[in-house]
Amino acid sequence: MNNSELEHVASELEWLRKEINRHNYLYYVLNQPEISDSEYDALFDRLVELERRYPELVTPDSPTQKVGAPPVEEFGIVIHKIPMLSLSKANSFEEFVDFDRRCKELLRLDPSYKIEYSGEPKLDGLSVSLIYENGILVQGSTRGDGIQGENVTQNVKTIRSIPLRLFDDAAANIRYIEVRGEVIIHKHDFERLNAERAAKGEPPFANPRNAAAGSLRQLDPQITRARPLDAFFYYIAEIDGVKLETHIEELELLKKLGLKVIPYYRLCVGVDDAREYFNKLLEEKESATFDMDGVVFKVNRLDWWTILGEISRSPRWAIAWKFPAEEAISVLLDVQWNVGRTGIVTPVAMLKPVRVSGVEVRKATLHNEEEIKRKGFKIGDKVIVRRAGEVIPEVVKPLVEARDGNEKEIVPPKNCPVCGSELVKEGEVFIRCPNVSCPAVLKESIIHFASRGAMDIDGLGEKLIEQFINNGLINDPADLYLLKKENLLTLERMGDKLASNILDSIERSKKTTLPRFIYALGIRNVGEHTAELLAEHFSTLENLMDASLEELTSIREIGPVVAKSIRDYFDSPANKKLISKLLLCGINYEPVKKEEKTALPLSGKGFVFTGTLNSFTREEAERIVVELGGKVLSSVSSKTDYLVVGSEPGSKLEKARKLGVKTINEDEFLRLIGRK
Ligand code: IVH
């Protein structure tokens, strides 16, 4: 082959690598792909083919080098030129204020001065260090003991979002840069990974952090490559060729270089602003796609880092303010069996009071009898209690090694703890009180009937409902509409005014909507959203009552289990009687007009969301879609019309690409809903 031919090939190779790297970045870092998978594959195949024919032209930054090297016997050792430090911790606002005060003392600033901090999530993964020389990734290492770590270069190269070559423009003057960040596994990927392992009979990972660590430290890079690893960067340990003044500038430079930078970071001015940021992140914690266990605050001015220095292997210019622990140890004092509105009897743990996530917990769910058996709980056990976000506290597991032999078995009841009826087994895990007029079932079903999303009877709380039932005033929800003032006045602490108010609210609730009415009936597995789907599909309650299982399952989002609950409910003579009685009492709703719906801009369109939007919370965006006639679906399927992709999207994006579902970004979504 002559020189000009070789030059020709070299320039095609260069173009291919640039183009593929650009698409990798668009896909894995920005999550905004521009081309289809098959177009991408065509480019990649061409590159592989050319490199096979001209092996002398393969370069270390070629995208083909991301596929991973052969296994090694053991990892080499890397001595960190700049030690990988730890962070000192704060557990409260007061401790953070102490930190802020110490900084001001060392910097000789006035106590009232507001220091600027970069606030960012504390990621719970495995820290890594990457070195790029002249823009090319030459080394990746783990933290190890902070002084020396393991050489995992071949493994980090397989991580999709880590570039083998930095962007030429931004990296032009950077001869050398060492960046630090965290390798993580997103929560949804973690769940999928564990499910796959379970299917293969492999032991599950305990948490995303362990999974990330175990996946990165594999001697065979092919195993690492098969794991869903991602990496976020938050620190420049050393840079040669560019001068920066603040930490935020560092983060912005990392972005321009094509690295994936820690999301949610923000400049905070002074301690109050920092606290506000901390609280905001604490709220976001559950909905974030990755685990974070606190907030890291770093003094923004880099010249101050030099003055502040470090102490016992932690910098004095940064602190990790940890989120309150979500788990605590308590004692299982007793188990109470609660009867719910559908008659299902569930075990509730009575606990020695304990603070979890800043709240005192005395009761927590034990889920069901099966769970008690599986985990082997006994009364008297020391147990781990967990409270995450808005979910009800739960008892995670007993500490078996702490037993002293005085623990007692938990015996599920044979009879309903409220009405004494013999309980029946329902499916594998549930026990149920079959008595439709069990006072506990009645109370719970009326609380549900009167609740905000259902008939919305203002002022009718749990205590009053209990009084009605105990005094024999009501035997079913319809009896509420038959109450008279003289009945109410017989109750303790009931005055004329209060009685009138309650009767007014009850009267007002008669005029309702079909979705509310359906939801109020308390059909098993039918929440507000399903009630809306049913109302829209059937327009009247009569149509719904007559619907066959086939018709029910033909509705998007309604599966066989929900369909069967609905059919079972309407097949019960007692329920039919209750519905006639409610209608006789005067409950009425406007029939749902289908024409109106179809006239709306998003009528008939199914939306799925993934990632975080800037302009709205997820709930707001979903409400807008519904108001404009669209439907919000929970997962991507062929019935999805649009996948709206925010920042940090989850696995839904990949699925949408596979199924050829249209994906739109936030801007396109705003245009679609007429806000742009
Ligand atoms: S900065 C010298 N920023 O926490 C400070 N670290 O306890 C360099 N970490 O080893 C680290 N999120 O693995 C920094 N936003 C963040 C972080 C973070 C998590 C980890 C990191 C470090 C450990 C220190």
Q: How far is the CA of 145 from the centre of ligand 1 (A)?
A: 14
Any ligand 1 atom below 6 A from CB of 182: yes
CA dist list (Å): 517 to 241, 341, 351, 447: 68, 16, 37, 14
Strand positions, DSSP E, 314-445: 314-315, 318-322, 327-339, 344-356, 359-365, 382-386, 394-398, 424-426, 430-432
Pocket test for ligand 1, best of 124, 127, 298, 314 (most atoms within 8 A of CB): 127
Question: Which residue has better confidence, 71 or 668?
Answer: 668
Pocket test for ligand 1, best of 143, 296, 310, 312 (most atoms within 8 A of CB): 296
Are residues 74 and 218 in contact, defined by beta-carbon separation less than 8 angstroms? no
Place of tokens 């829209």: 536
- pLDDT digit string, tens, across residues 582-596: 999 999 998 776 555
pLDDT at 127: 95
Average pLDDT for the chain: 91
Are residues 639 and 632 in contact, defined by beta-carbon separation less than 8 angstroms? no
Active site residue 122: yes
Determine the distance from the C-alpha atom of residue 498 to the mean position of all C-alpha atoms in its chain, rounded to a whole number: 43
**Parallel, antiparallel, or unpaired: how do β-strands 344-356 and 382-386 relate?**
unpaired
Number of Cβ atoms within 10 Å of the Cβ of 115: 21
Residues 569-585 have a mean pLDDT of 94
* pLDDT beyond 80 at 68: no
235-249, 507-521, 629-643: lowest mean pLDDT where? 629-643
d(CA 306, CA 474): 74
State both tokens at 396.
Answer: 């995670």
Q: How far is the CA of 626 from the centre of ligand 1 (A)?
A: 41
* pLDDT beyond 90 at 321: yes
d(CA 48, CA 386): 50
Give the nearest ligand 1 atom to 310 CA: 2
Q: Which percentage of the chain shows pLDDT scores above 70?
A: 98
- pLDDT digit string, tens, across residues 83-124: 999 999 998 999 999 999 999 999 999 999 999 999 999 999
Backbone torsion region of residue 112, taken as left when φ is above 0, otherwise alpha when ψ lies between -120 and 50, otherwise beta: alpha
Strand partners, 292: 123
Selected catalytic residue, list 66, 122, 157, 652: 122
Nearest partner of 354 among 366, 363, 342, judged by Cα: 363
d(CA 116, CA 100): 10
Any ligand 1 atom below 6 A from CB of 88: no
* pLDDT beyond 90 at 642: yes
Place of tokens 């017989």: 490
Q: How far is the CA of 83 from the centre of ligand 1 (A)?
A: 12
pLDDT at 116: 98
Strand positions, DSSP E, 134-244: 136-142, 148-150, 176-184, 230-240
pLDDT at 597: 47
Q: What are phi and psi of 407, to 5 degrees?
A: -70, 150
Are residues 215 and 223 in contact, defined by beta-carbon separation less than 8 angstroms? yes
* pLDDT beyond 70 at 479: yes
Q: String of b and e for 295-329 (b: at least 16 CB within 10 Å)?
A: bbbbbbbbebbeebeeeeeebbbbbbbbbeeeebe
**pTM of the predicted model, to two decimals?**
0.60
- pLDDT digit string, tens, across residues 21-66: 999 999 888 888 888 888 898 999 999 999 999 999 999 889 988 8
Any ligand 1 atom below 6 A from CB of 120: yes
Q: Is 284 helix (H, G, I), strand (E, B) or coil?
A: helix
Q: What are phi and psi of 531, to 5 degrees?
A: -60, -40
Nearest partner of 531 among 545, 547, 514, judged by Cα: 514
DSSP state of 27: I
Q: How far is the CA of 239 from the centre of ligand 1 (A)?
A: 18
d(CA 289, CA 465): 41
